[in-house]
Amino acid sequence: MASTARRLGGVGVAVVALIGAATANSMQRSKAINAASVKAQAQVDETLPRVIAGLEALSKDVAGKAERGARLQPVEDLVGQITSQSDVTQLSTTFAEFEVEPFFKPYASVGPHAYFLGEQPLYSSDAKLTDMLVPLARAATVSGTATALTAYGGSVWAVGVGRSEKTNPQQQPILFALGEQLTPALLEPLATGNQVAVVLVPSGKHQDAVGAGPTDAVESLKRRLISMKLDESPCCARKTIAPGVEVLIHKDPSPLLTEGANEASKTTPVFFGVGGLIALVGLIFAFRGGAKEQDPESAALLRETASQLKQSQEQLQRLSQQLSLNNTNRMDAPVTPAPQGDEGLGSTQASVQTSRYEIVAPLGEGGMARVSVAVVRGAEGFRRTFVLKRLRPELAGNQEVVNQFIDEARLGASLVHSNIVPVFDFGRDADGYFLAQEYIVGRDVDALIEASKAQRGRPLELPIVLLIAQEALKALSYAHTKKNDAGKPMGLVHRDVSPNNLMVSARGELKLLDFGIVKSEDRVTKTQAGVVKGNLFFMSPEQARALEVDARSDLFSMGMVLFSSITGNPLYSGNNVYELMTRAGTGLTDEDRARVKAECGPLADVILKALSLDPKDRYADAEEFAKALNTLGPAATTGELHQLMESLFATAFAEERAKFAVQA
C-alpha cells in the first residue's frame, strides 16, 4: 500500500514538474514577446511625428515656389501700377495671359494656382479652389508665407502661398497660391527615409488613398481603412493632420518580434531541464523504493541528481534575473531615452530610480505629454492621489521640448494661489520627465456648459458666470503681478485662457490650470517670432497675429469665456484652422458686436470692452475687469456652484471616487 502511494506520489511530482516547466516557459516567452511588441509600437509612434514633419516640409517647399512666383519680375512690375479698380480688372486679364508665357511654365506645371491682391481674388486656374485659398491668402498677408495640407478633388494637396515684396499704393501685396498633388513619387523619399509605408487619406475616402513604401505594407494599411476593427499588431499608427487629411504609417515589427522570440527560446532548455530533473527525482522516488531499500548506487544517484537540481535552480534564477535586466534595458531604453543633464527641478539621480508614482487611470494624451491619475504610497497606509503629467518618451531627446516642460513645472511650482492648480513635484525617473499636480474631482467649464445645456436646456445663468469670472480673474491678477525672487516682475501671460483650462471642483471651487505655453521673462524657452500657440476660439487678435502680447491678451480671452458661458457657444466659428486664425486675427466684426449685444444681456458692455481690438481700449488689468463685473449684481456663492456641480455630475463623481479609491 505504501509502495503504491509512493509510486503515485512520485509520478504526480514528475507530471507537475513537467507541466510547471511548460507553463513557466510559456509565461517567459509571452513576457518577452509582449515587451518586443511594446518596443515595436513605440518605434512606430516615434516615427509618426517625423513623417508628419516631412509632409509639412513638402508644403513649405510649395510655399517657397509660391513665394518665387509672387516675386517674378513681371509681377513686381505690375504691382505699383495698380491705382484703380480698372487696373485690378486688367491685372486679372494679365495674369490669365501668363499661362502661355515661358517664364510661368515652371509654376503652371506644378498644379492649380491663383493670384490675389491682398485678400481679393484676381485669377485662378481652378475657380473651385479660390474659396479654399482665401484663408491662406489672409494668413500670408501677415506672415509672408502660409502652408496647408488639404483634401480636394479626391486627392491630398500641399498648398503654399507667397507674397510679393512690393505693394500697391494701398499697401496691398500680390499673393500667389500654388497647390501640388501629393503622389506616390513625392511620398516615396519620405517613406524610404523613415523605413515605413505611408498612406494619405483624403476626406475619409479609403478608395482615394495614396501611399508609398513596401507594396505589402501599403496594401495592409489600405485594408485597415476598410476594416471597421483594426488588428492589434504593433505595426501601425494613424493621425488626422489637417481637416479632411489623415496619415497612416506601417513599420515592419517582425525583426523586433523575432528578437523577442529568440530571447524567450534561450530559457526553454533551462525550464525543461529543471522540470526534467525534478521529474526524474520523482520517478526515482516512485520506483526505487524507500530510503532503507536503496543500495549504495541508488543513494549516490539520488545525491548526484539533487546536486544537479540545485545547480540548475541557481542557474535558472541567475538567468531569469539577467533576462529581466536585459528586457528593462533593451526594451524600455529606446522608448524612453535617458536625458543628459538636467537644469530643471529634478535631481540627476532620479534618472535611474523607479517611478514612485503608480498609474491608476489614464486621463488623456497631447502632443507633448501623457496625463494620468497616479497614486503615491507611504508608511502606515499613507496614500495621496495626483494628476501625473509625463513627457512623451519620443520627445525626451528634444532639448527644446524638455526645456519647455521644465519651464512649465518651474513656473507652476512658483504659483501658489487658491485659484491655481499647483505643481507639487517635478523630476526625472526611469520613465522620463514628469510633473505632479493636484488631483481635483471636478469638470472644466466647457464640460459644465455642455452638461447644463443637455440636462437643464440652457447654458449658465448670470450669477454662476459672474462667480466663475471673478475667481478666474483673481488667479490672473495674481499671475500677472507675480514677481521673481529678485523682486523683478515676471511678466506672466497665460496665453491659453479658455473654458477647457478653467476647472470647477465638485465643491464649487474654480482653478486655473495649464501654464504650458505661458509667456514669462523667466522662461528658458521663448516662443519663436511668427509662431502662434493657444486656442483660436478664445485668442486675442494680437496673439493670433503672432505679435507681442501682455496681460490684456488674457483679459480678451476672459471676455470670450464670458460670452461662451452665458450663450453656450463660442463667438467665432470656422471650417478650418485658417478660417479661425483669420477670424481671431481680425477681431470682432460689426455682426459679432451686434450678436454680443443681443445675446449677453447685462454682460454685453463688459464683454465688448474686454474684446476691444486695441489692447489700450480694454480693461487695464484683471482687478479693473473684476470691478466692472461687480456692478452687474451679486455673484453666486461657492455653495451654489457646488450644488450645481452635484446636480449635473453627482453620478459621475461618485463613480470616479469609487473607481480611484478601489484602484489606488
Residues 552-608 have pLDDT tens digits of 999 999 999 999 999 999 998 876 776 787 888 889 999 999 999 999 999 999 999
Of residues 431 and 664, which shows the higher confidence score?
431
Return the number of other C-beta atoms located less than 10 Å from residue 274's C-beta.
Answer: 21
Phi, psi of 430 (to 5 degrees): -65, -20
| pLDDT exceeds 70 at position 298 | no
Closest CA to 214 of 236, 240, 229: 236
Q: What is the pLDDT of residue 524?
A: 37
In the block, residue with C-alpha cell 449658465 = 460
By the 8 A CB rule, do 525 and 518 touch?
Answer: no
Q: Which pLDDT band, with edges at 50, 70 and 90, does 274 fall under?
A: low
Q: What is the pLDDT of residue 56?
A: 83
Query: What secondary structure letter does DSSP report for 245?
Result: E
What average pLDDT does this structure show over 409-429?
Answer: 85
| pLDDT exceeds 90 at position 224 | no
Phi, psi of 633 (to 5 degrees): 125, 175
Q: Which pLDDT band, with edges at 50, 70 and 90, does 22 fall under?
A: low
Query: Across 414-524, where does the E strand assignment appear?
Result: 423-429, 432-438, 442-444, 502-505, 510-512
Phi, psi of 501 (to 5 degrees): -105, 15
Q: What is the pLDDT of residue 26?
A: 64
Closest CA to 142 of 614, 581, 577: 581
Q: SS in 3 state form for 14-67? A: HHHHHHHHHHHHHHHHHHHHHHHHHHHHHHHHHHHHHHHHHHHHHHHHHHHHHH
By the 8 A CB rule, do 411 and 626 touch?
Answer: no
Q: Look at residue 459 and give its three-state secondary structure.
A: coil
In the block, residue with C-alpha cell 517647399 = 61
What is the C-alpha to C-alpha distance for residues 377 and 595, in angstroms, rounded to an integer? 53
What is the C-alpha to C-alpha distance for residues 581 and 559, in angstroms, rounded to an integer? 18
Q: Which pLDDT band, with edges at 50, 70 and 90, does 628 fall under?
A: very high
Q: Which pLDDT band, with edges at 50, 70 and 90, does 330 fall under?
A: very low
| pLDDT exceeds 50 at position 342 | no
| pLDDT exceeds 90 at position 54 | no
* Highest mean pLDDT pick, 378-382, 589-593, 658-662: 589-593
Closest CA to 412 of 382, 443, 386, 447: 386
Return the number of other C-beta atoms located less than 10 Å from residue 342's C-beta.
Answer: 16
- pLDDT above 70: percentage of residues in the chain: 73
Q: What is the pLDDT of residue 194?
A: 85
Q: Look at residue 528 and give its three-state secondary structure.
A: coil
Q: Which pLDDT band, with edges at 50, 70 and 90, does 332 fall under?
A: very low
Report how far apart the first and last C-alpha atoms of the chain are (Å, whole number).
54
Of residues 81 and 340, which shows the higher confidence score?
81
| pLDDT exceeds 70 at position 267 | no
Q: How far is CA 236 from the centre of its chain?
A: 17
Indicate the class that CATH gives domain 442-653: mainly alpha
Instruction: Name, in order, each residue with C-beta under 8 angstroms of 434's C-beta and a sequence gap of 6 or more.
Output: 355, 357, 388, 389, 390, 391, 425, 426, 427, 428
Q: How far is CA 8 from CA 12, 22, 291, 622, in A?
A: 6, 21, 17, 85
| pLDDT exceeds 70 at position 107 | yes
Q: What is the pLDDT of residue 294?
A: 46
| pLDDT exceeds 50 at position 453 | yes
What average pLDDT does this structure show over 423-442?
Answer: 87
Task: Identify any residues that bridge with 434 across adjacent strands, giving them in sequence order.
Answer: 390, 427
What average pLDDT does this structure show over 626-655?
Answer: 92
What average pLDDT does this structure show over 3-10?
Answer: 58
What is the C-alpha to C-alpha distance for residues 561 and 554, in angstroms, rounded to an integer? 10
Closest CA to 175 of 124, 105, 230, 237: 124
* Highest mean pLDDT pick, 185-194, 290-299, 413-422, 440-449: 440-449
Q: Look at residue 159 and give its three-state secondary structure.
A: strand
Q: What is the pLDDT of residue 639?
A: 93
Closest CA to 211 of 226, 196, 233: 196
In the block, residue with C-alpha cell 525626451 = 396
Taking the domains of the chain in order of start, what are their residue ranges? 9-44+256-332, 71-180, 186-252, 348-438, 442-653
By the 8 A CB rule, do 200 and 242 touch?
Answer: no
Q: What is the pLDDT of residue 321?
A: 47
By the 8 A CB rule, do 440 and 503 touch?
Answer: yes
What one-letter code names the amino acid at 204? G
Of residues 565 and 42, which shows the higher confidence score?
565
* Highest mean pLDDT pick, 284-298, 310-324, 330-344, 361-375: 361-375
| pLDDT exceeds 60 at position 319 | no
Q: Which pLDDT band, with edges at 50, 70 and 90, does 634 fall under?
A: very high
What average pLDDT does this structure show over 269-273?
Answer: 62
Mean pLDDT of the chain: 77
Closest CA to 112 of 80, 79, 65, 168: 65
Angle at CA of residue 537, ends 535 and 541, nearest 5°: 85
In the block, residue with C-alpha cell 511530482 = 13
Indicate the class that CATH gives domain 71-180: alpha beta
By the 8 A CB rule, do 69 and 165 touch?
Answer: no
pTM over 0.85, yes/no: no
| pLDDT exceeds 90 at position 296 | no
What average pLDDT does this structure show over 481-500?
Answer: 86
Q: How far is CA 21 from CA 12, 263, 268, 269, 339, in A?
A: 14, 17, 9, 10, 40
Q: What is the pLDDT of residue 525?
A: 38
Q: Which pLDDT band, with edges at 50, 70 and 90, does 451 fall under?
A: very high
CA atoms within 13 A on the CB side of 239: 17
* Highest mean pLDDT pick, 472-486, 534-548, 577-591: 472-486
Q: What is the pLDDT of residue 610?
A: 96
| pLDDT exceeds 90 at position 643 | yes
CA dihedral 619, 624, 630, 632 (to 10 degrees): -20
Buried b (16+ CB within 10 A) or exposed e, 430-454: ebbbbbbbbbbbbbbbbbbbbbbee
| pLDDT exceeds 90 at position 629 | yes
Closest CA to 47 of 209, 254, 194: 194
Task: Identify any residues that bridge with 58 across adjacent strands, giving them in sequence order.
Answer: none
**β-strands 369-377, 358-365: how paired?**
antiparallel
Task: Identify any residues that bridge with 364 across adjacent strands, giving them in sequence order.
Answer: 371
Q: What is the pLDDT of residue 354?
A: 58
Q: What is the pLDDT of residue 561?
A: 96
Q: Does the structural domain 348-438 have CATH classification 3.30.200.20? A: yes
| pLDDT exceeds 50 at position 466 | yes
* Highest mean pLDDT pick, 199-213, 271-285, 298-312: 199-213
What is the C-alpha to C-alpha distance for residues 512 and 473, in angstroms, rounded to an integer? 9
Closest CA to 263 of 25, 44, 18, 41: 25
Q: Which of 429, 496, 514, 554 is catalytic?
A: 496
Question: Which run of H or of E encompasses 312?
Answer: helix 296-326
By the 8 A CB rule, do 264 and 28 touch?
Answer: yes
Q: What is the pLDDT of residue 6?
A: 56
Instruction: Respond yes or no: is residue 431 known to be catalytic.
Output: no
Closest CA to 439 of 368, 495, 479, 388: 388
Instruction: Name, in order, each residue with C-beta under 8 angstroms of 13's C-beta and a sequence gap of 6 or more.
Output: 278, 279, 281, 282, 285
What average pLDDT does this structure show over 69-87?
Answer: 76
